[in-house]
Amino acid sequence: MERRGFLILDNYNFEKLKELIFELRQPNGCPWDRKQTKESLVPQLLEEVYELVDAIHENSEEKIKEELGDVLLHIVFQIIVGEEQGGFTEKDVFKEIIEKIIRRHPHVFGDMETDDIDLINKNWETIKSNEAGKEKRKFFEGIPKSMPALLTSYKLTKKVAKVGFDWPHLANIFEKINEEVYELEEALTCGNLEMIEEEIGDVIFMIVNLCRFLKIEPETALVKTNKKFMKRFSFIEKNVDINKATLEEMDKYWEKSKKIKNL
């Protein structure tokens, strides 16, 4: 089988990666790569993004470097498929993002002068709503339908807060959380599963609202809690047979784990 000169690694850049994927898509390339479509690659793209997020949270430079490469691979793959189908080119992708960055930063590339981040963010949203050649955007347009629910809730509450639909004080949010918890307790008393599900959703939504009000990313907070929980339960696992231990025995080591630094 013929092998071309593209395998000579004379440089490492975007063009080389694009050339490599192009060759994989050729008739004498890789059968798996040839059969991929924009849609078939989505699950792997999402997985790679999550792996990159994990690497960032671990603050591992080696893993970040590797996972950035994996994400970039999928970006280039989507460009290659787009070019094959005649929908867009690499130049179209770069043109779109470069023009968008310039257009949405008038405080850097235009006449607007400000260092007020709140004003910059408000202006960003205004520009998005009024961009030339686009129909008037619906208020929630731009929030991806496939985004995880926790992040979606965070984006929704941030967006409505920007137009003044927000709680005046932190105390108001706690009052609403208590109200939602009470309604959940009422639903539990009724035993209506559909109602219980709805009220649990309301409680979670208000917790996300609290995070947003305090300028805390709920996903980041939950990731840290998950890690803490796993560390503490792993401490239990080291000290007892979790398949035979009683709840009292496990709880004893759980309480001990809470007194250990970094657990």
What pTM was computed for the model?
Answer: 0.68
Among 7-21, 31-45, 129-143, the least confident range: 129-143
Per-residue pLDDT tens over the stretch 131-143: 755 566 678 887 8
Residue 57, number of CB atoms within 10 A of its CB: 12
Q: What is the pLDDT of residue 133?
A: 56
Using the predicted structure, report yes or no on whether residue 124 has a pLDDT greater than 60: yes
Domain boundary assignment for the chain? 5-88, 100-125, 221-257
Alpha-carbon distance 176 to 198, whole Å? 15
Q: Coil, helix or strand for 32?
A: helix
Q: Mean pLDDT across the chain, nearest whole number?
A: 90
**pLDDT class for 9, splitting at 50, 70, 90?**
low
Torsion sign across C-alpha atoms 22, 25, 30, 32: positive
Q: What is the pLDDT of residue 2?
A: 45
Residue 85, token pair as written in the block: 């189908």
For domain 5-88, give the fold. Helix Hairpins (1.10.287)
Q: What is the pLDDT of residue 121?
A: 84
